[in-house]
Amino acid sequence: MNTEMKMNTAGFTLLELLIALALGLIVLTAVLGVFNSSTLSYNVQEDVAAMQQDVRVSKMFVERDIRMAGAGLAGYPLVGSLTADDLQPFVVENNLGENNSDRITISYVIPTPDECGDPPPSTTLPSCSSLPDLIVSDDMPENSAQARIVQTTPVSSWDDGCYCEGVEYPSPAFGFEFLIETPPGTPPEDRTADIAILTQVQANNNNMIQNRPIRINGIRIPNVIVNEYPAGSIIRFFSLQPLLRVQYFVNEDNILMRKEDVFENQAWTDNAPQPIAEHIEDLQFAFGLDTDDDGEINADGWRWSDAEGHFEGDGDLSDDDKSLVRTVRISVLGRTNQDREELGPEIRPALEDHAASEDPDYFRRRLSQTMVELRNIEILMNAN
């Protein structure tokens, strides 16, 4: 008996396979396109997000220090290598940073709770920083090693001694340093100060202090200087609060740099600049002046401003202007680390006296601006 064998003829023809392959390629191309677009968008957003974060950090640092400009500078003594220029609240150098950015130097005193620190164990003496200022009288010869104090400021509170930085200075032979400086109101160019050694207080002897020559560590220190100062000069215990000088600028790698120096041991440190944030293309400042002392920024009182009237002259802020500054506008312009040709061209915007770019590029940018009121400068100018 013959059996009929049946063959399975089910399957795809070559044409069907080619059509399926073509459709698969089309779908794969679309998927790859979406993936590539998503990757590019992600990379752009990552670059933009990093730039925005760096701009925020830059603004925070610069704003914090500018807000402190001038704090504690009123009456700070011109000792050691200090000059009147060192006690300027800020110095701005226009277009001296990379990409014609501005460079600013800010000075202020870091407040401390007690300049003399914690008392030594079991001491009964007061802190030397609590001693009141003394006012020099005018009836002692210049070559005298004694200084008479006017009766309105008796020296009796200095008579028991004091402590500072863990060291006790008991009566009657003290041996600590004190500062004498020209009277309040002395013009900046005529201000002087010196450090002398207090050797004895004579509270019951015509209200005088002595600063005779003394030996410290075997070295004889002459001290006949007090009576070279005019009547009304101020004597105070010598202990300086930290004086800080901070500089901001943008370097050639578009990094905002911060240089911090401290006045200590009667000289400035010289520390290396430290990086604060990347992706910073421009740093600009504009200054609002109250020229008629009405408490308001004058319409024509801006320096380095592009507000309607653009900026005045070459943008320089004169020394006379500085005492009138009440507001600072800080402008930080960020730029992505890479250009993005897939997003189309842009032009770097104008910023204060920094003109807009004439040639477009493919970088993305973000601008952050903030206004800071300089209340410390107003206090400083009123004190002087």
Q: Residue 322 carries which DSSP code?
A: H
Average pLDDT on 36-47 reads: 67
- Quote the CA–CA distance of 76 and 181 in Å, as a whole number: 10
The per-residue pLDDT for 135 is 92
The per-residue pLDDT for 150 is 87
Asked if the model's pLDDT at residue 315 lies above 60, the reply is no
Asked if the model's pLDDT at residue 275 lies above 50, the reply is yes
Residues 6+ apart with CB under 8 A from 353: 94, 95, 284, 304, 306, 310, 311, 315
- Quote the CA–CA distance of 135 and 140 in Å, as a whole number: 13
The per-residue pLDDT for 33 is 66
Asked if the model's pLDDT at residue 301 lies above 70, the reply is no
Residue 95: count of CB within 10 angstroms of its CB: 16
User: Helices (DSSP H) in the chain: which residue ranges?
Assistant: 14-67, 319-322, 375-383
Tell me which of 159-173, 211-225, 275-289 is least confident: 211-225
Residue bearing the bigger pLDDT, 225 or 233 = 233
33 dihedral zone (left: phi>0; alpha: psi -120 to 50; beta): alpha
Tell me which of 9-23, 115-129, 156-170, 360-374 is least confident: 9-23
- How far, in Å, are 9, 16, 368 from residue 13 at the CA level? 11, 5, 65
Q: Which amino acid is at 119?
A: P
> How many separate helices (H) and strands (E) can be counted in the chain?
3, 21
The per-residue pLDDT for 313 is 41
Asked if the model's pLDDT at residue 151 lies above 60, the reply is yes
CB 235 within 8 A of CB 133: yes
- Quote the CA–CA distance of 282 and 335 in Å, as a whole number: 9
CB 223 within 8 A of CB 211: yes
The per-residue pLDDT for 308 is 40
- Quote the CA–CA distance of 40 and 322 in Å, as a whole number: 48
- Quote the CA–CA distance of 135 and 5 in Å, as a whole number: 129
The per-residue pLDDT for 309 is 36
Asked if the model's pLDDT at residue 383 lies above 60, the reply is no
- pLDDT bucket at 343, cuts 50 / 70 / 90: confident
Asked if the model's pLDDT at residue 312 lies above 90, the reply is no
The per-residue pLDDT for 306 is 40
The per-residue pLDDT for 42 is 58
Helix (H) or strand (E) holding 366: strand 365-373
Asked if the model's pLDDT at residue 303 lies above 80, the reply is no
HSE-CB for 267 with a 13 A CA cutoff: 4
The per-residue pLDDT for 108 is 94
Q: Give the DSSP letter string of 13-71.
A: -HHHHHHHHHHHHHHHHHHHHHHHHHHHHHHHHHHHHHHHHHHHHHHHHHHHHHHTTTT
Asked if the model's pLDDT at residue 246 lies above 90, the reply is yes
Q: Which of 21-25, 111-115, 227-231, 379-383 has the highest mean pLDDT?
A: 227-231
Asked if the model's pLDDT at residue 217 lies above 80, the reply is no
